[in-house]
Amino acid sequence: MKGNPLKKSVQYGAALALVHLAACSPAAPDAPATASPTATAATPAADTRAVVVFGDSLFAGYNLPQDQGFAPALQRVLAGQGVKANVFNAGVSGDTSAAGLQRLAFTLDGQARKPDLVIVGLGANDMLRGLDPADTRRNLDAILAELKQREIPAMLTGMVAAPNMGADYARQFNSIYPDLARKYDLPLYPFFLDGVITDRTLLLADGIHPNAQGVAKIATRVGPLVAREFAPSR
């Protein structure tokens, strides 16, 4: 995706400020995920790629039918591009990067076989709760280090800080994703909600989470990056 997520923070400012006001309170937890991230995944066929989407409510399919979340939408996009894939939903609503790190090994060990790709999308809840970006960076770094140690290819989807978090916070937070993508030589989709968060027709009534159409739009943008990882030339 073209564009620098640091420059996008102003464009998304109003929408993300609403997200911050609505979701930063720990007293208002997100709804449960539509699919269990700890359930044992079905064994993909030998010619089918095993992809795990590992993140928070944006991956979990918050308040959507089970077949309309990010995992099934991405699977459909990949199929349309000629990539046979079984995309497993390992999204948990409300997860911070620390919570993701805690459940990573259990999630990976619950897969029927080693994934061909893990897409990591965490950190939004860290930002919404004003957690120290240094801690978010360490947690995501540890997640990617574990995937590397297990020789599992990874991909990152990023987030940008709401401007009302302050310029210093935004500078520290927004740099996490490109820095780690460079460190681990990973593909990066810089801002998961790009083109969606500013369009109310693509959001649920909460004005925060994408609806089925919003998820589908995201999947059409992320899908080509995923398909590229499975291209014969790689």
Range(s) of the domain holding residue 173: 13-23+46-229
What is the DSSP code (8-state) at residue 120? Answer: E
Among 133, 137, 192, which residue's Cα sits nearest to residue 168? 133
Average pLDDT rounded to a whole number, residues 3-28: 43
Q: How many domains does the chain have?
A: 1
Tell me the catalytic residues.
Answer: 57, 206, 209
Give a yes or no: residue 6 inside a domain.
no
Instruction: Please state the separation of Cα 211 from the chain's center in Å.
Output: 15
Structure tokens at 149: 């140690």
The beta-strand segments (E) located in 122-226 are 154-157, 188-189
Give a yes or no: residue 75 inside a domain.
yes
Give a yes or no: residue 31 inside a domain.
no
Give a yes or no: residue 118 inside a domain.
yes
Contact call for residues 117 and 80 (beta carbons, < 8 A): no
The CATH code of the domain that includes 186 is 3.40.50.1110
pLDDT confidence of residue 24:
38
Token pair 């709760």 is found at 129
Q: Parallel, antiparallel, or unpaired: how do β-strands 49-55 and 85-91 relate?
A: parallel
Give a yes or no: residue 30 inside a domain.
no
Considering only residues 64 and 24, tell me which one the structure prediction assigns the higher pLDDT. 64
Instruction: Give pLDDT tens digits for 99-136.
Output: 999 999 999 999 999 999 999 999 999 999 999 999 99
Measured on CA atoms in the order 17, 22, 25, 31, is the torsion positive or negative?
negative
Give a yes or no: residue 4 inside a domain.
no
Residues facing residue 55 across a β-bridge: 91, 121
Give a yes or no: residue 28 inside a domain.
no
Give a yes or no: residue 164 inside a domain.
yes
Instruction: Give pLDDT tens digits for 48-93.
Output: 999 999 999 999 999 999 999 999 999 999 999 999 999 999 999 9
**The one-letter amino acid at 157:** T
